[in-house]
């Protein structure tokens, strides 16, 4: 049993009734978070364009092909694992689109069911979605309840951070974007870089 497992979570797509056809949530899990933090640093060191080096945050949908390839290729070579859930929004009942925060919590709860809790401590960091404190607290309570049902002795920490302050969350942005692109655009070019790290790749889609 590992002592610590660090889990970084981000999403791609939107939870509106219209817009993207699919919505994706992905988690990158590591025992040593430094291996993710260093990826962004390495990419900026290798890139010659000054505009890349000076950016406070790297986002997959705003990056060029080379940057995406660099980052996803590094991910494929690190000691990490990825889980993801993909939702075809046509299968979501209409009333849930009116309570997006509850829907998001529920989907993250499904993701939690796939995480190994046979560790001493689980440290979860998620991209900060809400400025509303009550919504953030509601998310934390829901996720804690889901995880402690699996392991009552689990030590658990949950952090909600702005992604520009976390290199690790920026990595997950690229991962979730690559997975979502596979379904939304029927383009698996970027997904193939990280396919070897996705441990539930045969069961990513919910509610087929």
pLDDT at 10 over 60: yes
CB 148 within 8 A of CB 49: no
Number of domains in the chain: 1
Model pLDDT for residues 48-57, shown as the tens digit of each residue: 455 666 677 8
User: How many other CB atoms sit within 10 Å of the CB of residue 123?
Assistant: 16
Q: 202 versus 27: which is more confidently predicted?
A: 27
- Give the mean pLDDT of the chain: 89
Q: 55 versus 66: which is more confidently predicted?
A: 66
Q: How far apart are CA 163 and CA 147, in angstroms?
A: 24
Whole-angstrom Cα Rg for the chain: 17
Q: How far apart are CA 111 and CA 92, in angstroms?
A: 17
pLDDT at residue 48, rounded to an integer: 47
- Full domain range(s) for residue 6: 2-206
**Lowest mean pLDDT across 28-37, 38-47, 164-173, 191-200:** 38-47
Confidence of residue 181 (pLDDT cuts 50, 70, 90): very high
**What angle do the packed helices 167-184 and 65-76 form, to 10 degrees?**
110
Q: How far apart are CA 73 and CA 34, in angstroms?
A: 17
Q: What is the CATH number of the domain that holds 195?
A: 3.30.420.10
Model pLDDT for residues 73-131, shown as the tens digit of each residue: 999 999 999 999 999 998 888 888 888 888 999 999 999 999 988 899 999 999 887 66
pLDDT at residue 129, rounded to an integer: 75
């Amino acid at each position: 049993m590992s002592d610590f497992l660090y889990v970084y979570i981000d999403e791609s797509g939107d939870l509106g009734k219209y817009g993207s056809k699919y919505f994706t949530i992905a988690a990158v899990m590591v025992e040593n978070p430094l291996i993710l933090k260093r990826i962004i640093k390495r990419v900026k060191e290798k890139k010659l364009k000054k505009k890349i080096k000076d950016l406070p945050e790297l986002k997959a949908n705003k990056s060029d092909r080379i940057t995406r390839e660099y980052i996803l290729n590094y991910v494929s070579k690190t000691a990490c694992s990825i889980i993801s859930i993909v939702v075809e929004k046509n299968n979501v009942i209409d009333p849930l689109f009116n309570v997006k925060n509850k829907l998001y919590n529920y989907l993250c709860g499904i993701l939690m069911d796939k995480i190994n809790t046979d560790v001493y401590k689980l440290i979860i960091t998620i991209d900060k979605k809400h400025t509303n404190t009550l919504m953030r607290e509601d998310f934390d309570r829901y996720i804690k309840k889901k995880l402690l049902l699996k392991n009552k002795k689990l030590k658990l920490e949950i952090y909600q951070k702005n992604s520009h302050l976390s290199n690790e969350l920026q990595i997950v942005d690229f991962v979730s974007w690559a997975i979502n692109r596979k379904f939304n655009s029927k383009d698996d070019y970027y997904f193939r870089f990280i396919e070897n790290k996705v441990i539930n790749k045969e069961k990513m889609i919910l509610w087929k």
